[in-house]
Structure 1
Amino acid sequence: MAATLLDVAPGGRLTLDGTTRNAAGTGVPVQLGLDELGTALHEVTFVVVDLETTGGSPTGSEITEIGAVKVRGGEVLGEFQTLVNPGVAVPPMITVLTGITTAMVMAAPPVTEVLPAFLEFAGLDRGSVLVAHNARFDVGFLRHATERMGLPWPRPEVVDTVALARRVVTRDEAPNHKLSTLAGLFATAVTPDHRALHDARATVDVLHALLGRLAPLGVTHLEDLRTAADPVPSGRRRKAGMADGLPSGPGVYQFLGPRGEVLYVGTAVDLRRRVRQYFTAAEKRARIGEMLDIATAVRPIPCATALEAQVRELRLIAELDPPYNRRSRRPDRRPWLRLTDEAFPRLSVVRRLPAAELGSAIGPFHSRGAATAALEALQEAVALRRCSPRLPVRPSPTAAACALAEMGRCGAPCTGGQDRAAYEVALAPARGALGTELDPVVEVLRARLSALAAQQRYEEAATERDRLRALVQGARRAQRLRPLVTTPELLAARRADDGGWELVLVRYGRLAGAAVSPARTDPTPVMDALRATAEEVAAPDHACGAAPVEETELLAGWLEQDGVRLVEVAEGGLPLAWPVRGAARHVVPGRP
Structure 2
Amino acid sequence: MDYAVQGTLDELGTPLSQITFVVFDLETTGVSAGEHAITEIGAVKVRGGEVLGEFATLVDPGSPIPPFISVLTGITDSMVVAAPRIESVLPSFLEFAAGSTLVAHNAGFDLGFVRAACAAHGYPPPAHQVVDTVDLARKLLTRDEAPNCKLSTLAKIFSHTEPCHRALADARATVDVLHALLERAGSFGVHTLEELKGFVRAPTPEQRRKRHLADSVPAGPGVYVFEDEGGDPLYVGKSTNLRNRVRSYFTASETRPRVREMIGVAARVRSISCATSLEAEVRELRLIGSAKPRYNRRSRFPEKMFWLKLTDEPFPRLSVVREVKDDQASYLGPFNSTRAAEDARTALHETVPLRQCTERITPRTRRSACALAEIGKCGAPCEGRQSPGEYAVHVVAARRAMELDAAPVFSAIEARMERLALDQRYEEAAADRDRLASYVRTSARMQRLRSLTAISQMIAAAPLPGGAWEIHVIRYGRLASAGVMPKGAHPTPFVEALTATAETVPPGPGPVHAASAEETECVLRWLESAGVRLVQVEGTWSLPVSGAGRLKARIDHAYQTAEPRRAREGRPLR
User: Normalized against structure 1, the TM-score is what?
Assistant: 0.87
Spell out, residue by residue over 1:31-81, the C-alpha distance to the aligned partner (whole angstroms, 9 max, x if none).
xxxxxxx97112111111110111122133210011111112222222211
1:557 corresponds in structure 2 to 525
User: For 2:314 and 2:53, how far apart are their aligned partners in 1?
Assistant: 68
Asked if residue 342 in structure 1 is aligned to residue 307 in structure 2, the reply is no
Spell out, residue by residue over 1:284-317, the C-alpha distance to the aligned partner (whole angstroms, 9 max, x if none).
3333222211322222211111001111112223
Alignment of 1:384-399 (within 5 A): 384-396=354-366, 399=367
User: For 1:195 and 1:412, how far apart are their aligned partners in 2?
Assistant: 46
Spell out, residue by residue over 1:543-574, the C-alpha distance to the aligned partner (whole angstroms, 9 max, x if none).
42212222111111111212211111113xxx
Alignment of 1:374-389 (within 5 A): 374-389=344-359
Deviates more, 1:77-86 or 1:292-301: 292-301
Deviates more, 1:88-97 or 1:331-340: 331-340
Asked if residue 151 in structure 1 is aligned to residue 123 in structure 2, the reply is yes
2:380 corresponds in structure 1 to 412
1:11 corresponds in structure 2 to none
Say if 2:304 and 2:336, in contact at 8 Å, map to a contact too.
no
Aligned residue for 1:279, secondary structure, equals: coil
1:448 corresponds in structure 2 to 416
2:153 corresponds to which of 168, 171, 181: 181
Q: Shift in Å at residue 329 of structure 1?
A: 5.5
Would the alpha carbon gap of residues 357 and 122 (structure 1) be closer, same or farther in structure 2, given more than 3 Å must change? Answer: farther
2:70 corresponds in structure 1 to 95
Deviates more, 1:491-500 or 1:46-55: 491-500
1:201 corresponds in structure 2 to 172
2:80 corresponds in structure 1 to 105
User: For 1:262 and 1:191, how far apart are their aligned partners in 2?
Assistant: 39
Spell out, residue by residue over 1:227-250, the C-alpha distance to the aligned partner (whole angstroms, 9 max, x if none).
333442123213223222432211
Q: Shift in Å at residue 158 of structure 1?
A: 1.0
Aligned residue for 2:368, secondary structure, equals: coil
Alignment of 1:111-122 (within 5 A): 111-122=86-97
Say if 1:183 and 1:191, in contact at 8 Å, map to a contact too.
yes
User: For 1:567 and 1:357, how far apart are their aligned partners in 2?
Assistant: 34
Aligned residue for 1:363, secondary structure, equals: strand
Spell out, residue by residue over 1:519-565, the C-alpha distance to the aligned partner (whole angstroms, 9 max, x if none).
34432322121112111222224542212222111111111212211
Q: Shift in Å at residue 333 of structure 1?
A: 5.0
Would the alpha carbon gap of residues 357 and 498 (structure 1) be closer, same or farther in structure 2, given more than 3 Å must change? Answer: farther
User: For 1:180 and 1:260, how far apart are their aligned partners in 2?
Assistant: 37
1:42 corresponds to which of 7, 14, 17: 17
Would the alpha carbon gap of residues 194 and 323 (structure 1) be closer, same or farther in structure 2, given more than 3 Å must change? Answer: closer
Aligned residue for 2:39, secondary structure, equals: strand
Alignment of 1:192-341 (within 5 A): 192-327=163-298, 330-332=301-303, 334-341=305-312
One-letter amino acid of the counterpart of residue 375, structure 1: R
Q: Shift in Å at residue 428 of structure 1?
A: 3.5
Would the alpha carbon gap of residues 462 and 214 (structure 1) be closer, same or farther in structure 2, given more than 3 Å must change? Answer: same
2:549 corresponds in structure 1 to 584
1:371 corresponds in structure 2 to 341
User: For 1:117 and 1:227, how far apart are their aligned partners in 2?
Assistant: 32
Say if 2:458 and 2:538, in contact at 8 Å, map to a contact too.
yes
Aligned residue for 2:335, secondary structure, equals: coil
2:572 corresponds in structure 1 to none
Spell out, residue by residue over 1:378-425, the C-alpha distance to the aligned partner (whole angstroms, 9 max, x if none).
1122222100111121342xx111111112211111112222233222
**Structure 2 residue runs without a partner (length 5+):** 1-12, 564-574
Say if 1:339 and 1:361, in contact at 8 Å, map to a contact too.
yes
User: Normalized against structure 2, the TM-score is what?
Assistant: 0.90
User: For 1:320 and 1:74, how far apart are their aligned partners in 2?
Assistant: 48
Would the alpha carbon gap of residues 436 and 373 (structure 1) be closer, same or farther in structure 2, given more than 3 Å must change? Answer: same
Please give the root-mean-square deviation of Cα atoms over the aligned residues, in Å.
2.1
Query: Identity of aligned pairs, percent?
Result: 54
Would the alpha carbon gap of residues 463 and 404 (structure 1) be closer, same or farther in structure 2, given more than 3 Å must change? Answer: same
User: For 1:148 and 1:56, how far apart are their aligned partners in 2?
Assistant: 17
Q: Shift in Å at residue 495 of structure 1?
A: 1.6
Aligned residue for 1:206, secondary structure, equals: helix
Alignment of 1:117-156 (within 5 A): 117-123=92-98, 126=99, 128-156=100-128
Asked if residue 527 in structure 1 is aligned to residue 495 in structure 2, the reply is yes
Say if 1:501 and 1:517, in contact at 8 Å, map to a contact too.
yes
Q: Shift in Å at residue 583 of structure 1?
A: 1.4
2:397 corresponds to which of 422, 426, 429: 429
One-letter amino acid of the counterpart of residue 30, structure 2: G
Say if 1:338 and 1:434, in contact at 8 Å, map to a contact too.
no
Say if 1:354 and 1:543, in contact at 8 Å, map to a contact too.
no
One-letter amino acid of the counterpart of residue 548, structure 1: S
1:7 corresponds in structure 2 to none
User: For 1:525 and 1:356, how far apart are their aligned partners in 2?
Assistant: 41
Say if 1:339 and 1:346, in contact at 8 Å, map to a contact too.
yes
User: For 2:156 and 2:227, how far apart are their aligned partners in 1?
Assistant: 39
User: For 1:291 and 1:481, how far apart are their aligned partners in 2?
Assistant: 34
User: For 1:157 and 1:70, how far apart are their aligned partners in 2?
Assistant: 14
Q: Shift in Å at residue 330 of structure 1?
A: 4.7
Would the alpha carbon gap of residues 587 and 407 (structure 1) be closer, same or farther in structure 2, given more than 3 Å must change? Answer: same
Alignment of 1:489-500 (within 5 A): 489-500=457-468
Q: Shift in Å at residue 325 of structure 1?
A: 2.7
> Larger relative contact order (C-alpha < 8 A, sep ≥ 6)?
2
Aligned residue for 1:61, secondary structure, equals: coil
Spell out, residue by residue over 1:76-129, the C-alpha distance to the aligned partner (whole angstroms, 9 max, x if none).
222211111111111112111111001211222211221122112210xx3x11
Say if 1:362 and 1:477, in contact at 8 Å, map to a contact too.
no
1:171 corresponds in structure 2 to 143
Q: Shift in Å at residue 150 of structure 1?
A: 3.3
User: For 1:326 and 1:208, how far apart are their aligned partners in 2?
Assistant: 30
Say if 1:508 and 1:546, in contact at 8 Å, map to a contact too.
yes
Would the alpha carbon gap of residues 322 and 69 (structure 1) be closer, same or farther in structure 2, given more than 3 Å must change? Answer: closer
Following TM superposition, where does structure 1 have runs of at least 4 consecutive aligned residues deviating by more than 4 angstroms?
327-330, 355-358, 589-592
User: For 2:14 and 2:275, how far apart are their aligned partners in 1?
Assistant: 56
